[in-house]
Amino acid sequence: MALTRRQKEVLDFIADFVRDNGFSPSYEEIAAGMKLASLATVHKHIQALELKNYLHRGFNQSRSIELAPRYFQDQKLFAARPKMMPLSVPLMGRIAAGAPVEAVPGTASLEFSDFTGDEGTYALEVRGDSMIDDHICSGDYVLVRKTQDVRDGDIVVALVRGTETTLKRFYREEDGQIRLQPANASMNPILVRPDELDVQGKLLAVLRKYR
Q: Which residues form the catalytic set?
A: 130, 168
For the chain, give me the number of helices (H) and strands (E)? 5, 11
What is the CA angle 63-66-70, rounded to 5?
165
Rounded distance, CA 56 to CA 46, Å?
9
> Dihedral (C-alpha) 95, 99, 102, 104: value to the nearest 10 degrees?
-10
* β strands within the chain, DSSP E: 55-57, 65-67, 88-90, 109-111, 121-125, 141-145, 155-160, 164-172, 178-181, 190-192, 197-207
